[in-house]
Amino acid sequence: MKKLLMLFIAGLFSLTMVLSAQAKTVQVTTLEDFQPGNPPQVLHIQMNGNVRLDYDTMLFQGFHVTGRILGKQGGGYVFVPVSYINYQEEQIPLSKEFPAIIKTRANVVRQNQPFTLVFPNESSEGFQYYVPSVSDMN
pLDDT tens-digit series, residues 113-136: 898 888 886 454 555 555 666 666
Residue 6 within a domain: no
Residue 53 within a domain: yes
Residue 18 within a domain: no
The domain of 68 spans: 23-123
Please count the structural domains in the chain: 1
CB 40 within 8 A of CB 23: no
Residue 86 within a domain: yes
Residue 102 within a domain: yes
Residue 131 within a domain: no
Query: What digits encode the pLDDT tens for the residues 35-81?
Result: 888 888 999 999 999 998 888 888 999 999 999 998 777 778 899 99
Residue 68 within a domain: yes
DSSP 87-134: TT--EEE-SS---EEEE---SSB-TT-EEEEEETT---TT-------G
Residue 15 within a domain: no
The three-class DSSP label of residue 45 is strand
CB 102 within 8 A of CB 39: yes
- Specify burial of residue 52 (Cβ count, 10 A radius: 0-12, 13-18, 19+): middle
Global pTM reads 0.69
